[in-house]
């Protein structure tokens, strides 16, 4: 078995872990949810949940990883035997499945960059493009090849890419914000995001904020645990988790300021989800000076966010194989990367030749999303809190966090959150997810 890798620098670790958290969901879903669910009030509720759900779970996962120096499955097996190892299995399985469809979206992004670079315009019809058979698969495979190459090099490759892509992501966001807020009528887009809603905050809005915290910070996927296993003892785990959560939230808010003023400036529909990125925004770029240049900048920004998340997902899966099957990094990265790429093919075809295939009312792409988002991730997070908080006990993790003289001043609050508050909030996420599944299944009958 290969010697365990370690991060070469604190900055490299911080940017890599932040990059894992800052993904495509930050760049469209968060501002969309914020605008639809109470504006600035939603942001405040979201930040509260980051503190009482997101950061406590991140601290727990990172400390477990550094304490055991193992990947997700091996880490929990070391702490609690085969039964506890199930927690890690859920995370690794979720990472495997998520990357299979995430890379399909990554392929769409590459297609748009190439299209703008060669023809100065987007594909004529997004729905028609995704319904094709071979070209979306080709770009999906290109995206997976990029991910495999970076992980093949190891933590050094991940650090180098993150040190370029993460600062680049924020620089590109700033450029796009300047362009967006200077368009006529941009103030309407800012009001959509930040203006408190007169309707009040509903239960569905609160549940949306909970779910967004859980998925935006890449909780219970084994990513934070795996990255934590490469971490030096001298690092301040609570401090780093707070920084990562702050960067993640900042990127999401900045994305909203970059996107929605432009959308409102041209009188387009702001509540379209992923279609907003691939169908609505190209209409904006087509109607502003130097629009193709700004389009390339935007989709490069999207690619940066996608790649930094995809390499974290593949690293989590590969680390599992290295620890449990004693594979070399190269063998694990290539074999598992290829398997994930193959599983992504039916997801790509879900909008074309396999569009009539229905699994419990979902197409294949949406079914994989549902399994991970509504079942694997919240279940893994809930079991982790129960195991650490009540079975194994948090005392050992406090000692790990406070090694090398680090002071964990909020340890009592963290223990209270991980034992009581956080499990209740995760249970709410699960209930909301099962309600959504029930509605789809009933609707399909």
Highest mean pLDDT among 91-105, 150-164, 396-410: 91-105
**What percent of the chain is predicted at pLDDT more than 70?**
97
pLDDT score recorded for residue 2: 58
Residues linked to residue 359 through DSSP beta bridges, in sequence order: 362
How far is residue 40 from each of residues 9, 185, 198, 237, 350, measured CA to CA in Å? 36, 20, 11, 29, 36
In this predicted structure, the answer to whether residue 194 has a pLDDT above a threshold of 60 is yes
Cα–Cα dist 440/426, whole Å = 21
Cα–Cα dist 244/252, whole Å = 12
Cα–Cα dist 227/16, whole Å = 8
Confidence of residue 155 (pLDDT cuts 50, 70, 90): confident
- Read off the pLDDT of each residue in 150-166 and give the average, rounded to a whole number: 89
pLDDT score recorded for residue 200: 57
Q: Which two tokens stand for residue 168?
A: 């680049």
Q: What is the pLDDT of residues 332-370, one digit of tens each?
A: 999 999 999 999 999 999 999 999 999 989 999 999 999
- Cβ atoms 153, 318 nearer than 8 A: no
> pTM value?
0.93
H helices, E strands: number in the chain: 21, 0
Confidence of residue 270 (pLDDT cuts 50, 70, 90): confident
Cα–Cα dist 28/382, whole Å = 27
Three-state DSSP state, 273:
coil
Q: What is the pLDDT of residues 75-124, one digit of tens each?
A: 999 999 999 999 999 999 999 999 999 999 999 999 999 999 999 999 98
């Amino acid at each position: 078995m290969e010697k365990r890798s370690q991060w070469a620098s604190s900055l490299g670790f911080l940017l890599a872990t932040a990059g894992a958290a800052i993904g495509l969901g930050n760049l469209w879903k968060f501002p969309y949810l914020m605008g639809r669910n109470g504006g600035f009030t939603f942001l405040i509720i979201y930040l509260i949940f980051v503190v009482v759900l997101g950061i406590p779970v991140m601290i727990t996962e990172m400390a477990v990883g550094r304490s055991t120096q193992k990947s997700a499955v091996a880490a929990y097996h070391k702490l609690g035997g085969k039964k506890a190892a199930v927690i890690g299995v859920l995370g690794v399985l979720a990472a495997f499945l998520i990357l299979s469809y995430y890379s399909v979206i990554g392929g769409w992004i590459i297609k748009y960059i190439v299209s703008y670079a060669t023809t100065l315009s987007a594909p004529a019809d997004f729905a028609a493009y995704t319904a094709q058979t071979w070209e979306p698969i080709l770009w999906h495979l290109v995206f997976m090849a990029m991910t495999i190459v970076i992980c093949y090099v190891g933590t050094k490759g991940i650090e180098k890419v993150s040190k370029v892509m993460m600062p680049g992501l924020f620089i590109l966001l700033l450029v796009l914000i300047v362009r967006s807020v200077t368009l006529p009528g941009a103030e309407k887009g800012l009001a959509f995001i930040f203006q408190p809603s007169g309707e009040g905050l509903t239960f569905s809005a609160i549940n949306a904020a909970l779910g967004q915290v859980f998925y935006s910070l890449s909780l219970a996927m084994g990513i934070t645990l795996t990255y934590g296993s490469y971490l030096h003892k001298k690092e301040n785990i609570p401090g780093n988790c707070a920084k990562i959560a702050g960067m993640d939230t900042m990127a999401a808010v900045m994305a909203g300021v970059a996107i929605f003023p432009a959308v409102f400036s041209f009188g387009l529909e702001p509540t379209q989800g992923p279609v907003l990125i691939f169908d609505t925004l190209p209409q904006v770029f087509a109607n502003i000076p130097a629009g193709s240049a700004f389009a390339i900048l935007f989709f490069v920004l999207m690619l940066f966010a996608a790649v930094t998340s995809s390499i974290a997902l593949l690293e989590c899966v590969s680390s599992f194989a290295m620890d449990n099957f004693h594979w070399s990094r190269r063998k694990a990265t290539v074999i598992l990367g290829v398997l994930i790429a193959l599983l992504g093919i039916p997801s790509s075809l879900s909008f074309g030749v396999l569009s009539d295939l229905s699994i419990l009312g979902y197409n294949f792409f949406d079914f994989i999303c549902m399994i991970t988002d509504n079942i694997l991730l919240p279940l893994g997070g809930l079991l982790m809190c129960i195991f650490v908080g009540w079975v194994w006990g948090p005392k050992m993790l406090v000692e790990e966090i406070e090694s090398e003289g680090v002071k964990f001043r909020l340890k009592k609050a963290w223990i209270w959150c991980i034992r009581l508050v956080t499990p209740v909030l995760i249970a709410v996420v699960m209930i909301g997810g099962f309600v959504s599944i029930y509605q789809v299944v009933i609707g399909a009958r």
